[in-house]
A and B are shown apart, each in its own frame.
Chain A
Amino acid sequence: MLPEKPEVIEVEEFEYIDDEENEKPGEQIPEIPVSRVVNPIAEPCRSNEPPSEQKETVPPARKTQSRPPQQKTYIKYTNAPAALETVEPRRSSRLRAGATTALTSTSPSMVVGDDPLTYDKAIRYPHWQQAIREEFESLKRQGTWIYERATSKIAAAGKSVIGCKWVY
């Protein structure tokens, strides 16, 4: 028996094609077998478990009958050939959980922010100035370095003077 409320079908899952204009009057409209139509409504798939048994319950043959007028709305769906002739089990198109829990390059925490990349850009912002000053004071308090004049002594020791940069 056909479902009483065919509108519970999620329309967006089907490619809806209105063939009404192309129909010739009195044309025999191929009807989808009942079990094939009822199944997704009576037993809505869980998105995680595509029903493997669904294909088996679908009879391969189509029966042909004239369209009952009171089921006009419903038959519009069955008349959409692209959606129903390829009888795939209804599968959710969303990504499965689990694949989305891992950190990827597009995760919010991994996305490159708008932090400045150079000192010249950072110094335009008061809060970055403040951060630079605090970091510098922290390094100074730790006694991270002592100032010296560049002399030939360094080169003589085989040492080069290394650059540094601020990282934000």
Chain B
Amino acid sequence: MIEGYEQVVYGETFAPVPRLTSLHMLTVLGAKNGYYADHMDVVGAFLNPGIDEAEYMHLAEGIEWLDSAAVKENGGDNSRGVCRLLRALYGLKQAPLLWYKRLTLI
């Protein structure tokens, strides 16, 4: 999880979220009119959208045993290594907005 509260420079972050009452209303309408209802969950939803500007992150704890490629890249000093995000991570300020943009493309 990225510590998005450390982000200083960022743009739009608003992402619409339905009210629970709206969901209730839809459920009631569906029940009243006999609609078929289905539901789904997108696992790791925020990891789907690409990121539209460069965000840099320190390496995760445990990177030394998790990924040898990281060690190679930063010349053996993990504390100096960084990674540039290609996808939104959970905790990134703009992650919900990026996911919303991606979802509405469907």
Contact = CB atoms under 8 A, between A and B. Distances in A.
The answer to whether A and B belong to the same complex is: yes
Interface of A: 119, 123, 132-133, 136, 138-140, 142-150, 154, 157-167
Given A147-B73, A167-B1, A139 B82 contact: no
Contacts of A166: 1, 60-62
Contact of A146 (B2, B9, B86, B91): B86
Contacts of A165: 1, 3, 60-61
A163 B59 CA distance: 8
Given A150-B81, A161-B56, A143 B86 contact: yes
Interface in B47-71: 47, 54-62, 66-67, 69-70
A80 to B, nearest CB: 51
Contacts of B55: 159, 162
A144 B59 CA distance: 12
A162 B2 contact: yes
A147 B83 contact: yes
B58 A161 contact: yes
Contacts of B83: 145-148
A159 B57 contact: no
B58 A148 contact: no
A154 B57 CA distance: 11
B32 interface: no
Contacts of A136: 60, 62, 66-67
